[in-house]
Chains A and B, each alone.
Chain A
Amino acid sequence: MTGSPTVVRVQDVSKRFVIRKEKSLKERLVNFGRSNRHKEDFWALRNVNVEIGAGSTVGLIGANGSGKSTLLKLIGGILHPTSGTVEHRGRIAALLELGAGFHPDLTGRENVYLNASILGLTTKQTNKYFDAIVDFSGIEPFIDTQVKFYSSGMYVRLAFAVAVHVDPDVLLVDEVLSVGDEPFQRKCMDRIREFQSEGRTIIVVTHSMDQVADLCDRAIVLDHGNVEVDGDPIDALRHLRSDFEEMRREDISREQHDSLEPQTAARVTAVRITDHLGRPLDAITTGGDVDVHLDITADGTLDHPLIGVGIDNSLGQTVYATSTKMMQLAIPEISGSRSFTFRLPHLALNEGQYDITGTIYRTNGTEIHRYANGAPLSVETLGHSFGFIDVRATLLEHEDTSATVER
């Protein structure tokens, strides 16, 4: 990326929101002079520095309220920094909300022209793209119907179709990549990939970690307005996940603290993996068998608990998970320490690093404790495929095939 020109430069940007509690003239006059008492400062971003090169796809991630949407709006020029500068070059299209600017009383056709114009296309250009837009949206029969009669799905389809047909150098996207039904989503993602291959820059705010892992070549983790991590998406996601894990643990412990009934505490104290003879193990060849042992300790007697085991890949995506509930097994009770073993035979995982997670739940399914990334497991394959699983694929040769296949 060294050779590519910078398209977005954010230098030392801070953004303060003033939360006012009064809005009318009367209240302002009454509170004039002591209005500071009715104001509250909130720093959405603090001293953020980001430089984005052309052709990269950057994910802005973080918890709710971490400032990622604010940063996106600053880049798009919708908001102004309190201090610092935001600069960009090339045409920017912001997709912060699908169908912003759609007028319910106008027909789909009229709205396409209006929306395209808002996003910076001329009427002549829209004429050129119009058929493609309608075709992409797949709502041709309704294009001359007023959009207020559209279903919400049709509405976003049309809006997205317009948005991806404007010709931006930089596309800002806020949580709008997962709209419509599955075939349409796939179409959208294909379109985004096409954008990437054409060297367009995409800056995306999303909560979908899979999307970040899948699309981005760089991720920025924001936390309370500060840049926590800026770099490889895998590192960023790992960081964010551990943050979330911490938040969740705090929530759980607070809940347990707050709840009036004393509840039995229990913990998964260890996650171990072995082969079927009980020998410790941290690597297998794909298709091998694994025994997962969960050591569980309960302070008292826990009635009808549920126990779960899961396998996460290095991006944190769950590739496999099960529990005693799903297996329709019942554990009458646990008191004191006990060990449970799940046997996972023929693990046809693809090459990579995995982590085993053990969890204990109450009967109603609420989590008591999760031992995340309890044990590492690396899987080796012959390297003949990619994806989640490894399948021993073969090519069947027919006698009438003219092409010869050689190994």
Chain B
Amino acid sequence: MSVHDLERDKRAARLATEPLVPAGPTTGFLAGTGASIRGVWQYRELLRLLVRRELKARYKDSVLGFLWTLIKPLAMLLVYYFAIGKFLGAERSIPEFAIYIFAGLTAWTLFSEIVSTGTGSIVGNGGLVKKIYLPREVFPLSVIGSALVNFFIQLAILYVATLLTGSPPGLDRLVFVVAGIAIILIWATAWAFLLSAVNVYLRDVQWLVEIALMVGFWASPIVYSWEQVSGQIGGTIWGDLYLANPVTIAVMYFQRGLWVAGSDKPQPTGLGVHAAAALVVGLILLWVFQRVFARLQANFAQEL
């Protein structure tokens, strides 16, 4: 008996013990969730490589390379600092305005980057989706990885900046930052799942997302303060609606966690309850949108 025959028999014997499994993803609502998680877990190494590909390829062949990830938010910071802080005078009611903006910007950039890049992630990886079966969740998920890398670099800069201004946040405030990150990640991932899947069928979605994100930027207290908003719509239904936005909650948590100079500024009442609700609703939404994604992905390969 040759080596090959032996191998052949061993393979046949092993295969005979394995169960027949349906090809492709499971679409069932409950059973499918487990299958999706297992699938992504199996491909966790690919996820890591996709994140690296994303980061490496993005600034390849540019002289400054990775520095560009820093230059863009810094430029935005400067523009808002001068235009809104100095010229429009927002600075007068907000101490350490630069820290304030950068805290909000850092949180917002994380959210918007995951949502906008995530929306295009399936279409952008169409070549792969059409030719090889993988749990397609890895594409929107890989976006989160690269967005997080950028995010933590910005966060580090922000922390250094608070050291320079002489008011670094204490460890007791860390819980706000962590909660803020959690809310943003859950909600951004949920939307990335839904939008990336819908975008395959309706390409208008990516343009719609662009506009929605622009509106969303101004709908959170990033370059202005809650104090200024509550004066206008506080206590009305509009105020409640404003506070129902999970990104607004996350941004405020970020500011509370990192912007020490503003500790005595007024906070909306019941922010903690809002945050808890945002987490719970976000998790439910994440699950529902992932199931929608799993249902829609069956036809990705033929729609692309």
Contacts and interface: CB of A to CB of B under 8 A. Distances in A.
Nearest to A16: B302
A238 B25 CA distance: 38
Contacts of A118: 46, 128, 132, 134
Nearest to A53: B12
A5 B19 CA distance: 11
A101 B130 CA distance: 11
Contacts of A92: 23, 133
Interface stretch (A31-39, A106-114, A315-323): A106-114
B264 interface: no
A103 B127 CA distance: 11
A100 B53 contact: no
Nearest to B127: A100
Nearest to B56: A106
Given A118-B46, A200-B11, A75 B132 contact: no
A207 B127 CA distance: 23
B124 to A, nearest CB: 11
B204 A94 contact: no
Interface stretch (B2-10, B83-91, B165-173, B271-279): B2-10
A103 B129 CA distance: 14
A5 B15 contact: yes
Interface in A192-231: 197-200
B12 A55 contact: yes
A77 interface: yes
Contacts of A24: 202-204
A119 B43 CA distance: 10
Contacts of A73: 301
User: By CB atoms of chain A within 10 A, which of B130, B132, B133 has the most?
Assistant: B132
A105 B204 CA distance: 28
B127 A101 contact: yes
A23 interface: yes
A266 interface: no
A5 B127 CA distance: 33
B57 A78 contact: no
Interface string B36-77: 000000010110011011001100110000000000000000
Interface stretch (A80-88, A268-276, A349-357, A367-375): A80-88
Contact of A9 (B20, B127, B134): B20
Given A25-B204, A117-B49, A199-B12, A94 B18 contact: no
Contacts of B61: 105
Interface in A12-37: 17, 23-26, 28
Given A7-B15, A25-B202, A88 B4 contact: no
A200 B202 CA distance: 41
Interface string B88-100: 0000000000000
Nearest to A96: B131
Contact of B4 (A23, A75, A87, A197): A197
Contacts of A96: 130-132
A117 B46 contact: yes
A54 B132 contact: no
User: By CB atoms of chain A within 10 A, which of B7, B131, B202, B302 has the most?
Assistant: B131
Interface string A143-176: 0001000000000000000000000010000000
Contact of B128 (A77, A101, A110): A101
A89 interface: yes
B255 to A, nearest CB: 37
Interface residues of A, number: 51
A176 B24 CA distance: 23
B298 interface: yes
A77 B46 contact: no
B128 A198 contact: no
Contacts of B301: 73, 78-79
B1 interface: no
A86 B23 contact: yes
Nearest to B22: A87
Contacts of A55: 8, 11-12
A123 interface: yes
A122 B132 contact: no
Contacts of B24: 77-80, 86
A89 B12 CA distance: 11
A88 B20 contact: yes
A26 B24 CA distance: 32
Interface string B278-304: 000000000000000000001101100
Given A96-B131, A105-B60, A4 B12 contact: yes
Interface string B125-160: 001111111100000000000000000000000000
Contacts of B133: 76-78, 92, 94
A130 to B, nearest CB: 14
User: By CB atoms of chain B within 10 A, which of A23, A101, A103, A197 has the most?
Assistant: A101
A169 B130 contact: no
Interface of B: 4, 7-9, 11-12, 14-16, 18-25, 43, 45-46, 49-50, 52-53, 56-57, 60-61, 127-134, 202-204, 298-299, 301-302
Given A118-B46, A199-B4, 17 more contacts: A5-B15, A7-B15, A73-B301, A80-B298, A86-B22, A86-B24, A94-B131, A103-B53, A105-B57, A106-B57, A110-B52, A110-B56, A114-B49, A119-B132, A169-B11, A199-B7, A199-B11
25 contacts: A5-B12, A7-B15, A9-B20, A23-B203, A24-B202, A26-B204, A54-B15, A73-B301, A76-B132, A77-B23, A77-B24, A78-B129, A78-B301, A80-B298, A85-B22, A86-B22, A86-B24, A90-B18, A106-B57, A110-B56, A114-B53, A169-B11, A198-B8, A199-B7, A200-B11
